[in-house]
């Protein structure tokens, strides 16, 4: 189901500035993301899963170091 919206561009007397567009009831992905951030309980989820997030970040850091240390030795070796 769509809704017709009249958008004023300029003064009210300028009829050439009127634009008619169709607004759908389904919000855009950006609007849904914004609503999720503003209305969701994501901060409580982060606090609830803090230990798992910390472990994942440490594993990511160790994995990156394990890949970069040999490369840095090869670069220094020439």
Q: What is the pLDDT of residue 59?
A: 98
Most confident of 10-14, 16-20, 69-73, 74-78: 69-73
pLDDT above 70 for 22: no
Q: What is the pLDDT of residue 73?
A: 93
Owning domain of residue 37: 2-77
As given in the structure block, the two tokens for residue 21 are 């567009």
Comparison of pLDDT for 26 and 28, the residue scoring more = 28
Please provide the DSSP assignment of 56-71 as one string: HHHHHHHHHHHHHHHH
Total domains, the chain:
1
Rounded to an integer, the average pLDDT of 3-15 is 56
């Amino acid at each position: 189901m769509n809704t017709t919206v009249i958008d004023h561009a300029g003064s009210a007397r300028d009829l050439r500035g009127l634009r008619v567009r169709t607004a759908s009831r389904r919000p855009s992905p950006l609007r849904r993301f914004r609503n999720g951030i503003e209305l969701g309980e994501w901060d409580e989820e982060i606090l609830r899963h803090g230990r798992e997030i910390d472990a994942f970040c440490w594993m990511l850091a160790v994995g990156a170091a394990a890949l970069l240390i040999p490369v840095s030795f090869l670069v220094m070796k020439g």
